[in-house]
């Protein structure tokens, strides 16, 4: 049987960018895809755009409690073998993304994989901005280099781990990758799969320093209790925070 996908998109007043997100899923040349939308109570045209999609979709409305809960609710009603979260302001870069991912799952036998992103800034695509290291758990503990919109996970693994931690506001994906990595090693792809839209309204842009701090707290959950190891991670965190503050103060723009 062919592999099936559940593409989960969480929305809240997302009308400004949702068209591109939806169009990129509808343009896929892979037939075995269900679209799931989890809405947090939109008051703009978001729900109208979702209801206008010319194919059956699953829609959950008025799901409150934050993005982690919304993603978990999407997983709860998903029926696909593989789950991906495509955020409402992001989109797949090509029409063959899902067919290529399906082939990689079949050939590798892995339970999860991730590719790369490109940054959409004002409608113009830019390179990601850094070179991701070769995957290892130790490297992942140093830094989250796994982009959520380009990550695909077997639904059974997500259910086994009981979904995302609803107590986290920014680093729920990083926590998930670290928990997943203890169960199964991912397949790493170098190919850009998804466009990540950079704009002032995005959560990661508005709360960069808070997200960095939560990343650090998540990292400490997973590192050894050895004081020297924890001190090393703290030193790295302080250096990154100082660098981020210098960039922010120098440019007037969040890094």
Give residue 163's pLDDT: 96
What does the pLDDT read at residue 235? 74
Question: Would you kindly state where each structural domain of the chain is located, as residue ranges?
Answer: 5-200
* CB neighbour list of residue 129: distance below 8 Å, 6 or more residues apart: 119
Contact 170, 215 (CB under 8 A): yes
Beta partners for residue 196, in sequence order: 119
Distance separating alpha carbons of residues 78 and 76, to the nearest angstrom? 6
CA distance 93 to 105: 19
pLDDT at 249: 63
Asked if the model's pLDDT at residue 233 lies above 90, the reply is: no
pLDDT at residue 253, rounded to an integer: 44
pLDDT for residue 204: 54
Burial grade of 190 (CB within 10 A; 0-12, 13-18, 19 or more): exposed
Residue 103 has pLDDT above 50, yes or no: yes
CATH topology of domain 5-200: Spore Coat Polysaccharide Biosynthesis Protein SpsA; Chain A (3.90.550)
**pLDDT digits 0-9 by tens, 124-182:** 999 998 899 999 999 999 899 999 999 999 999 999 999 999 999 999 999 999 999 99
> Residue 39 and residue 64: Cα distance in Å, rounded?
8
Find tokens 């590192």 and name the residue. Answer: 223
In the predicted model, is pLDDT for residue 199 greater than 90?
no
């Amino acid at each position: 049987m062919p592999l099936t996908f559940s593409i989960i998109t969480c929305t809240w007043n997302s009308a400004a960018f949702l068209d591109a997100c939806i169009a990129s899923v509808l343009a896929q040349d892979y037939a075995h895809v269900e679209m799931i939308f989890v809405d947090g109570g939109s008051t703009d045209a978001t729900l109208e755009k979702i209801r206008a999609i010319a194919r059956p979709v699953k829609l959950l409305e008025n799901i409150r409690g934050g993005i982690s809960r919304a993603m978990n609710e999407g997983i709860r009603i998903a029926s696909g073998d593989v789950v991906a979260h495509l955020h409402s302001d992001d989109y797949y870069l090509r029409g063959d993304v899902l067919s290529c991912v399906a082939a990689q799952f079949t050939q590798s036998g892995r339970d999860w994989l991730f590719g790369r992103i490109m940054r959409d800034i004002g409608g113009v695509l830019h390179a990601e901005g850094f070179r991701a290291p070769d995957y290892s758990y130790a490297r992942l503990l140093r830094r989250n280099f796994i982009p959520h919109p380009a990550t695909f996970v077997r639904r059974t693994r997500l259910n086994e781990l009981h979904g995302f931690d609803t107590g986290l506001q920014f680093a729920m994906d990083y926590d998930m990758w670290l928990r997943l990595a203890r169960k199964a090693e991912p397949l790493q792809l170098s190919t850009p799969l998804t466009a990540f839209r950079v704009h002032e309204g995005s959560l990661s842009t508005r709360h960069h320093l808070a997200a960095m701090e939560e990343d650090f707290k998540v990292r400490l959950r997973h590192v050894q209790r050895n004081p020297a190891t924890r001190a090393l991670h703290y030193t790295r965190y302080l250096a990154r925070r100082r660098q981020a503050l210098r960039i922010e103060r120098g440019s007037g723009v969040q890094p």
